[in-house]
Amino acid sequence: MTETLIRVVLLVTEQSTLYLNLLLIFCLFFSACSNKIEPGSEAHIREVTLAIEDQRLLNAEDTPVDWLLHGRNYKEDRFSSLNQINKSNIDQLGLAWSIQLGTKRGIEASPLVVDGIMFFTGTWSVVYAVDVRKGEIIWIHDPGVPREYGEKACCDVVNRGVALYKGLVISASLDGRLFALDAATGKVVWEVITVDQKKAYTITGAPRVFDGKVAIGNGGGEYGVRGYVTAYDAMTGDELWRFYTVPGNPADGFENEAMEKAAETWTGEWWIMGGGGTCWDALVYDPVLDLLYIGVGNGSPWNREHRSPGGGDNLYLASIVALKPDTGEYVWHYQTTPGDTWDYTATQPIILADLEINSTDRKVLMQAPKNGFFYVLDRITGELISAEAYSYTNWATHIDSDTGRPVESEFARYLDANVTIAPGPGGAHNWHPMSYNPETGLVYIPVQQNFYTYGPHKDFSFDHDSRVWNLGTETDAEKPLIKDEKIPAKASKLVAWDPVNQKEKWNVLYQSTAGAGTLTTPDFVFQGTPEGLLVAYDSLTGEGLWSFDLKSGIIAPSVTYMVDGIQYLTIAVGWGGATGTSSLPLTEQVNPGTIYTFALGKKSKIPDFARKPKKQLVKLPVDASEAELEEGQTIFIKNCRACHWGEGNVPDLTYSTPEIFQIFHEIVGRGIFIGKGMPNYGDRYTEDEISNVKKYILSVAEERRTAQQ
Ligand code: CA
């Protein structure tokens, strides 16, 4: 019996081998065979992207070869276990290729990669597909964002990336659309408008996919909007649910019990300016607990005295809210900054982890929101486990572990004085992704050390204008100034933070004030710098082990993945974002947007960027009265300063050429630079008023020249 069985097995095996051999021969001769699909071809892209379904995404943590989700896996920890590039060979890491993107504004995206096909976004929400093997663009999809939208974007015309699902590349545009592209061709499959485009909503965040759905939030808190997150069917774009983060006008009825409860924490007529609470970045899906955590933004306007004059916590501003991913139903919330009055968003990246704390395994989420405290929360209940300052803060002394609330400094709310507060509205940490390395137990936070003088804003009846920032925090010259001598100088830092013991392990200090995203692997933390370097630090000690000069300030995070057995590292470079529109990086010049990819043993050179001539302060005669200059200054502060208050990727106008001032009225009053993102103010200001703005700019240039002499 046994003998017969063995013989049968042998026969079958022999036949299988024969069959396989025949198949192999067939494959060699006929290119139609599936394993002969040319990498980078439509058929290849379709095959590898169609395979990105739920199980594959759930397993993303165990398949570091690809980078399939915004934060690499659903924990969004940006830890890759790939270790082909390691301490023993990092000195051989070199440039494999670079692609210039033809853009001049900020790039913040985390590229996604599947089998050597990379998808990412650049400025003005343009989507790119790139063949990593060749270092070539496969397709570009420009959603055609109307350039007037540049005015509604608080923090540059940036975008943080795409989501991949079953053959689709899903992305959102600055003007509030969410769209799905055929990953193989870049052609639009479906598109929905997710905002009221008459209002000042914008989208810069990356959509997140989970369980057949795709979720997206929006921004616009500075201009006056009401925040929310919407989930759509990932395959069709049909709307499934929407969760508002702040209550609307009670007279219209509340959408749900969560809004009814939230309304008890507001006073006055907050809904007129929208209330704020936009969710412009962190949306993190937790497949283990079946929850979706959303990071909620600041109040609108910033000053609570305007927004909710009787006080109150103003739920769910500056909170992390857990929702049921199927329905968008509220589950729990934790408010990091009750009654926010400083633009302390809690939209910053959220990382999920399992940590042993006091000998107990805890399912936690971690966030370093703008307010300067690092939070570890129990993500089952939303309960505070611990919070400590990760950067200098003076608005609150500490977080009370019993109440879970900050203990505010007496002067923090700037009610009757101008007060210098740290951190400022740029946040001790902003959108720049942090990463968590489970092997070192450290979180690598791009920290920004900054401060800002908030003022009580004397005019409490100020007009809300949805085309400009409405903050209500202007300093009042008649009030005293409270300064804190202990506030450190403006700078940025890479901080390695121990989340269990809530303390800093080491840091690297930079001169510039802007942060840049991080990535971690067993041996390294990779971070770009405003000085233009891509650096590999020792993940345990912070020692710099390798760097590459990319010669233009970096803000985006890098990603790593493997193609045909080779580990690659990719970073997109484009100076800009909240800090970069109005400040220069510490490099010789800002170079156009470029994506760089590195691998061991590669020796390509970075592009030879054209040298830009050194700029001179404009020198033109100014004949203006005090009253004209004052009017010009008022209009400038209200409309122009947010982008043009320094030399960044948007010009400092005092350095513009005399030719620009010859066509000043055409630019400002007739919109001839709309294509560059410069709005038309012709419907808002008269020719005389525009002329006064011009005189004001020229007089500032004159003052600066005198100061230089
Ligand atoms: Ca804000």
Q: Which residue has tokens 């395994």? A: 361
CA–centroid distance, 345 to ligand 1, in Å, is 6
42-193+539-612 and 626-708 in the same fold: no
The CA distance from 646 to 581, in Å, is 8
What pLDDT was estimated at residue 530?
Answer: 87
Annotation says 343 is catalytic: yes
Asked whether residue 30 carries a pLDDT value surpassing 60, the answer given is no
Which residues sit opposite 419 in a β-bridge? Answer: 454, 482
What is the CATH class of 209-430+452-486? Answer: mainly beta
pLDDT tens digits for 158-185?
A: 999 999 999 999 999 999 999 999 999 9
Q: What is the mean pLDDT of the chain?
A: 92
Pairing mode, if any, of strands 435-437 and 442-449? antiparallel
Of residues 175, 340, 343, 523, which has the active-site annotation? Answer: 343
481-482 vs 418-421, strand pairing mode: parallel
Q: Quick one: tokens of 106?
A: 């900020």
Given a cut of 90, whether residue 292 has pLDDT beyond it is yes
Q: Quick one: average pLDDT of 58-73?
A: 96
Question: What span, in angstroms and rounded, lies between the C-alpha atoms of 682 and 391?
Answer: 44
The rounded Å distance from CA 369 to ligand 1 centre is 12
Confidence of residue 16 (pLDDT cuts 50, 70, 90): low
Average pLDDT of span 288-311:
96
pLDDT beyond 50 at 122: yes
What residue spans define the domains of the chain?
2-36, 42-193+539-612, 209-430+452-486, 626-708
CA of 343 to the centre of ligand 1 (A): 5
**Residue 27 or residue 680, greater confidence:** 680
pLDDT above 90 for 216: yes
Residue type, 588: E
Task: Work out the angle at residue 449's Cα, subtended by the Cα atoms of residues 437 and 149, and round it to the nearest 5 degrees.
Answer: 90
Q: What are the angstrom distances between the C-alpha of 709 and each of 617, 697, 698, 706?
A: 12, 19, 17, 5
Per DSSP, 49 falls in state H
Share of the chain above pLDDT 90, in %: 81
Does the pLDDT at position 141 exceed 50? yes
CB half-sphere exposure, 365, CA atoms < 13 A: 32
Q: Quick check: 14 pLDDT over 60?
A: no
- Superfamily name and number for 42-193+539-612: Quinoprotein alcohol dehydrogenase-like superfamily (2.140.10.10)
The CA 112 to ligand 1 mean position distance, Å, reads: 27
pLDDT for 1 equals 41
Q: What pLDDT, on the 0 to 100 scale, is given for residue 22?
A: 55
Considering the domain 626-708, what is its CATH architecture?
Orthogonal Bundle (1.10)
Q: How confident is the model at residue 23 (pLDDT cuts 50, 70, 90)?
A: low
Mean pLDDT: which of 70-79, 589-598, 698-707 is highest? 70-79
Distance between Cα 578 and ligand 1 center (Å): 10
| Pair 213, 328: CB distance under 8 Å | no
Residues whose CB is less than 8 angstroms from the CB of residue 54 and which lie 6 or more positions away in sequence, other chains included: 210, 211, 212
> In the structure, what pLDDT confidence band is assigned to residue 397 with cuts at 50, 70 and 90?
very high
Mean per-residue pLDDT for 437-446? 98
Structure tokens at 644: 């043009």
- Report, as an integer, the average pLDDT of 90-110: 96
| DSSP codes joined into one string, 136-154 | EEEEEE-----GGGGGG-T
What's the gap in Å between 533 CA and the centre of ligand 1?
A: 28
3-state secondary structure of 172: strand
Percent of the chain at pLDDT exceeding 70: 95
* Residue 4, pLDDT score: 46
Tokens of 71: 């934060």
CB 532 within 8 A of CB 587: yes
Q: Could you report the per-residue pLDDT of 230-269, keeping only the tens digit for each?
A: 999 999 999 999 999 999 999 999 999 999 999 999 999 9
